[in-house]
Structure 1
Amino acid sequence: MAVRPPQQDGDEPDTLEFGIAALSPHLSKSDLTFPATTDEVVRELGDPAIPYDANGNTVRLSEALGAVRATQFDTQRELLDALHPVLEEYRESGGGILSQLRALLPF
């Protein structure tokens, strides 16, 4: 998913990508080949923090993959399809109680 950010200065991007759209650039830059296991995906992509909402909240790829039932993906589409509901759940829940507590702290 993507959403237009608030207009401020000209240095900001036109859209903010989150969810599987934010993971796609990592996949494009990698040498990951399929089929691939969850460990191979994390190792090859470097366990990036994936934004799951327009506020910039993130979840590590390894954590998101931990919530997926599959341990191997035959195609990139299969990987993205498996991650989509997990990232949507993070978006809808606001990332859980830990994320909400972090948002309240001033540092």
Structure 2
Amino acid sequence: MAVRPPQQGDDEPDSLEFGIAALTPYLSEANLTFPATTDEIVRALGDPAIPYDANGNAVALSEALAAVNRSQFDTQRELLDALHPVLEEYRESGGGLFSQLRALLPF
């Protein structure tokens, strides 16, 4: 029996970024200046789904920002610092009841 050789040029990442680390590339590529409102941030970034755990579960940026209960951020660091505990809560809770039910379904 032969073993297939490893694929060259594999597009799979070596690691999966989640939480605020997954949001950072969006911020780097966006035409966004601070101070910025939550609406401006969502529009500039396109409301991406932000993975909050290593399993790839994600939450929309707009939903995470709604949980922050702030409408404006003076700096990018302030935004990331505010989102960190929200994304951690999603990670620790498994995303809530809907995500847990979806995980139980076979499709």
Could you state the TM-score of these two structures normalised by the residue count of structure 1?
Answer: 0.89
Correspondence for 1:50:
50
Query: What is the root-mean-square deviation in Å for CA atoms of aligned residues?
Result: 1.3
Q: Secondary structure at the match of 1:67?
A: helix
1:67, distance to aligned residue in structure 2 (A): 0.2
Q: Which amino acid aligns with 2:36?
A: A
The gaps in structure 2 that reach 5 residues or longer are: 1-5
Runs of 4+ aligned residues of structure 1 deviating over 6 Å after TM superposition are none
How many residues end up aligned between the 2 structures?
100
**CA distance, structure 2, for counterparts of residue 20 and residue 43 of structure 1:** 18
Correspondence for 2:22:
22
Greater Cα offset, 78-87 or 10-19: 10-19
Correspondence for 2:61:
61
Correspondence for 1:97:
97
The gaps in structure 1 that reach 5 residues or longer are: 1-7
Correspondence for 1:74:
74
Q: Secondary structure at the match of 2:23?
A: helix
1:12, distance to aligned residue in structure 2 (A): 1.6
Q: Which amino acid aligns with 1:42?
A: V
1:72, distance to aligned residue in structure 2 (A): 0.1
- Answer with 1 or 2: which has the greater Rg: 2
**CA distance, structure 1, for counterparts of residue 11 and residue 27 of structure 2:** 25
**CA distance, structure 2, for counterparts of residue 72 and residue 23 of structure 1:** 17
1:11, distance to aligned residue in structure 2 (A): 3.4
